[in-house]
Amino acid sequence: MSENKTLAYGHQGLKEANISKVEEVMSSKGRNGKITVRLSKQRAITTSPLYEKYEIQKYDLHPNYYFNACANQIPSGVPEYIDDGQQYVERIVRAMYYFKQCALIGPSGTGKTHIIYLVAELTGLPVWEVNCGLQTSSYDLIGRFVGLGKENWIDGQVTLWLRHGGILYLDEANMMKQDVATRLNPVLDTRGHLVITEKDNEIVPRHQFGYCVIAMNPFSAEFSGTKKLNAAFRRRMSVWLNFTYQSIGDNISDREMGLIVKRSKVDEDTAYKILRVGAEMRRQYQEGDLPYGPSPGDLINWAVLCNDGVAPISAAEETLIALTSDAHEIQEEVRRIIASVFE
């Protein structure tokens, strides 16, 4: 399934109207706690308050260039990404700076999409996202005619990205059918271009600040070893970053617990138990015994209801249990895990 997904974190971008305020903000930095980073006298790279948390200042991904036409595709307000010292943000930005593209590998819920939106906000890049699947077609990626007449062409996500620049984010890239993926090969040569055969062989060169990130889930049920990422695709990615759950099995991360407490306001004891359930479910997911491993976001949802006064087990019915599967036996297994921790 492929869609022009609404950016999850909003995308006000950097509006022209804000720009004149930037210098004001700079000079008042520290007083209101808000840090705005200025690229030149006129424009800012980012207004993210998280900018100084990550060491990415030496990588300018669009020197003296501003994405005016698609500023509304630049995410804003993306929450902090926590890790246990792996420095994922820095490594992604560095890979984009030197190689223009990179690949993220990890099970669902390890924050791959989240971190790309954060990186985009921090570096001031628009995002063009494609959620790849077996149904993803060249219409979605490249474009299509929507009626009679040459003027009725609509660009797909990849074409938009080639023209405007920013980050092309191909989520679950290994789920795409081979013939569709193959059309991306010339585009992923960093100096590549696309020939739109559908449209009188129009040649669309890759934007000078066009970066590509692909994400893959090595454990998805549909994956089961049958759909390897095509070799041509693989060769074109220089950097591969592995994402794992912060807490899994008996290993409980203090930072992830802190995240749950911070985002749900639930008490620490409940947060700890919730995370233990999540960690055990993730272990079973990686063993192939459960169809889904919960993300920090899923656990936070459960915790929010607990914090509202719902009993943990009832709160799990509405969130974690229903989310994991419709199948009775699988839901029973999740209930068993919850009972073993909470009772």
Ligand X SMILES: Nc1ncnc2c1ncn2[C@@H]1O[C@H](COP(=O)(O)OP(=O)(O)O)[C@@H](O)[C@H]1O
- Positions that interact with Mg ion (CB under 5 A): 113, 171
Query: Is 114 a residue that touches ligand X (CB under 6 A)?
Result: yes
Residue 26 or 304 having the CB closest to ligand X: 304
Of residues 220 and 331, the one with the C-beta less far from Mg ion: 220
At closest approach, how far in Å is the CB of 40 from ligand X? 32
DSSP character for 62?
S
Q: CA 214, CA 226: separation in Å to the nearest integer? A: 19
Q: Is 174 in the site for ligand X (CB under 6 A)?
A: no
**Shortest gap between Cβ of 205 and ligand X (angstroms)?**
30
How would you label 248-273 residue by residue, b for 16+ Cβ within 10 Å and e otherwise? Answer: beeeebeebbebbbebbebeeebbbb
Q: Which is nearer to ligand X, 193 or 265 (CB)?
A: 265
Say whether 170 sits in a helix, a strand or coil: strand
* Nearest distance, CB of residue 71 and Mg ion, angstroms: 24
- Report if residue 83 touches ligand X, rule: CB under 6 A: yes
Name the minimum Å distance from CB 204 to ligand X.
28
At 11, list the tokens.
Answer: 């995308």
In the complex, the smallest distance separating the C-beta of residue 216 from Mg ion, rounded to whole angstroms, is: 10
Residue 259 within binding range of ligand X, rule CB under 6 A: yes
What does the alpha-carbon distance between residue 292 and residue 285 come to, in Å, rounded to a whole number?
6
Q: Are strands 101-105 and 210-216 parallel, antiparallel or unpaired?
A: parallel
Residue 110 engages ligand X in binding (rule: CB under 6 A) = yes
Smallest distance from ligand X to CB 8, Å: 8
Tell me the site size for ligand X, rule CB under 6 A: 15
Query: Element (H or E) spanning 306, and its range?
Result: helix 296-307
Please tell me whether residue 295 binds ligand X under the rule CB under 6 A: yes
321: tokens are 């249990």
- CB within 8 A of 11, min separation 6: which ones? 72, 73, 74, 75, 76
Q: Is 297 in the site for ligand X (CB under 6 A)?
A: yes
Residue 236's CB: how many other CB atoms inside 10 A?
Answer: 21
For residues 83 and 317, which CB has a smaller minimum distance to ligand X in the complex?
Answer: 83
Residue 20 CB partners (closer than 8 Å, separation 6+): none
Give whichever of 83 and 198 is closer to ligand X, judged by the CB atom: 83
- Asked if residue 118 lies in contact with residue 160, where contact means CB atoms within 8 angstroms, the answer is no
By beta-carbon proximity to ligand X, the closer residue of 101 and 110 is 110
Interface residue with ligand X, options 76, 108, 136, 264 (CB under 6 A):
108
Q: Which is nearer to Mg ion, 11 or 114 (CB)?
A: 114
Interface ranges with ligand X (CB under 6 A)? 81-83, 106, 108-114, 259, 295-297
